Structures are given as structure tokens and as C-alpha cells.
Structure 1
Amino acid sequence: MKMLMIASMAAIVASGLWAFASRQVQDGPDPIVVASIAKPNPQKTYSIANAAEHTSCLAQRGEKLSNRSLRFSAGPDCDLVWPGLSKARTWIETGDGMVVVGNAKGEAIITIAEGDGLAYEAIEPSDALLTMAVVD
């Protein structure tokens, strides 16, 4: 009886080891989906204000276009804030805290940097008294 018990235990252990060893490891992403974390909304709306002209408008920064650039769009009313701003199509992060807002050809319309508060401030052209603050 004792021998039968030892043989049964050995068979159980052996089958467990065989099942563990023969299990195939799956490569790739984990198939379990967790919906507890919402996907971030890539679009942000900015209020752009010109202190010298007392004008302002809204513009949107959208989805990623490349590693350091995002889609950008400003309405025709933004030309009253800064000439050519309605032609802005890209938001390019330079990696040093500055952002180049450029047209479809990649030419800079304005260059902004993080200000003292929550807003960006224009640094190029030097006569641009512009601030950009997130609205939403």
C-alpha cells in the first residue's frame, strides 16, 4: 500500500512537470485587455493671444505625425493674431523646451518656449508678443 502511494505521488509529480515543460511560451503582446486606463486624447486646444494687438484665437494641436512633430491647425481668425498663423500645420518639439510652429513646408511661422507659468511664449520672431495657453 505504501508503495502504491509513492508510485501515485511520483506519477502526479511527473505529469505536473511534463505539463509545465511542454507548455509553449507565446511571443507577442499579452492577450488580456484591461480597460481601466483611458487612452489619452491627443488633441489639445490652445488660446493664442497677442498682447500688443489685443487679439486672440483658438488653435488645435492634434495627433503625432512623426517622432517629434504633431499636427497643428489654426483658423483664419488667427491671422489677426499673427500674420500667416492660419497656414500653420505642424508643431515640432525641438527637445530643448522650444516648439516650432510651421507651415506645410516645415518653415517656421513662430518659435515658442515654455514660459514662467503654464503658457508658452513666442521667442521668434523677436517682436511677437504672443502667448499660447492650453484651454482644455
Structure 2
Amino acid sequence: MRLLIATVAAVGFIGAAAAVTSAPEDGGSTVSAVKEASAPSRYRVVAVGQEGTCAVTKGEALSDRLAELYVERTCSTVMPGLEQARYWREASDGSVTFAKADGGAVLEFSVADGVAYETFRPHAPLVSLVAMR
């Protein structure tokens, strides 16, 4: 019986070690693959002092730090001008810019506590992005 338990434990340990040390076939990082899989892609937009909320969706990646952005039509009532946003652009510090088709910024967000992101530009009204699961 002890031999059986030791064998099962050894096989489990070897399998776990192989899973941790193996690299993905595409040459990418296992950690980044897990991070990407768990990152939310849909966010609720909440503007302080404004009625209602709307949703935005981070779409398909166009490059390493640029993705399509889909904005609900009702977002123009929550934050006028938000309907112009076409791209989700990430900076190396984790900040996110909602950019227009010409690349100009509509809103700029920093990582926040308790919510996914909060605007730092423009300063008012404060707009939060809350991850939706």
C-alpha cells in the first residue's frame, strides 16, 4: 500500500513539474498565456455624476499593445464623445487610452484599486471601468 501511495505521489509530482516547466509551442510565455486568458475583455463604464452606465468591449488584438474597441451606442449619453473611440491602446505602465480612428485620445485611464481603471485625462468627470465577467 505504501508503494502504491509513493508511486501515485511521484507520478503526480513529475506531471506537475512538467506542466510548470514546459513552454508553449508558439514560444510564448506560460505566465502571459495565463494572464491573457484571465484578463477581462468587457467593462462597464461609469461616469461620476452621470445617469446610467454602458459597456465597452476590448476586441481583437491588432498588435502587442493595440486592440479594437467596441463601444455601446448608449455610451454617448454616459460620456459624450466616447462613441468616437475605436481602439484600446495599452502603455507599458498599464495605463489605457481609448483612441479615435486618427489615434487621438478620447479618454486616458490608469490602473485603479477596487475597479479596473479610472480616468486621469480628462480630469472631470471621473470615469471608471469596472470589469464584467
TM-score by length of 1: 0.66
Task: Identify the structure with the greater helix proportion.
Answer: 2
Aligned partners of 1:72 and 1:91 also within 8 Å: yes
Query: 4+ residue stretches of structure 1 with deviation over 4 A?
Result: none
Where does 1:1-136 land on structure 2 (aligned, <5 Å)?
40=37, 44-136=41-133
- C-alpha separation between the residues in 1 aligned to 2:51 and 2:119? 15
Change (3 A) 1:105 1:57: same
Q: How many residues align?
A: 102
Deviations 1:72-125 (A, max 9, x none): 110221001111111211011111121111111111000001111232101100
- C-alpha separation between the residues in 2 aligned to 1:75 and 1:87? 11
> Structure 1: where are the runs of 5+ without partners?
1-28, 31-36
Change (3 A) 1:42 1:120: closer
SS at match of 1:55: coil
- C-alpha separation between the residues in 2 aligned to 1:96 and 1:40? 20
Larger radius of gyration: 1
RMSD: 2.5
> Structure 2: where are the runs of 5+ without partners?
1-24, 27-32
Report sequence identity in percent: 29
Q: Displacement, 1:66?
A: 1.2
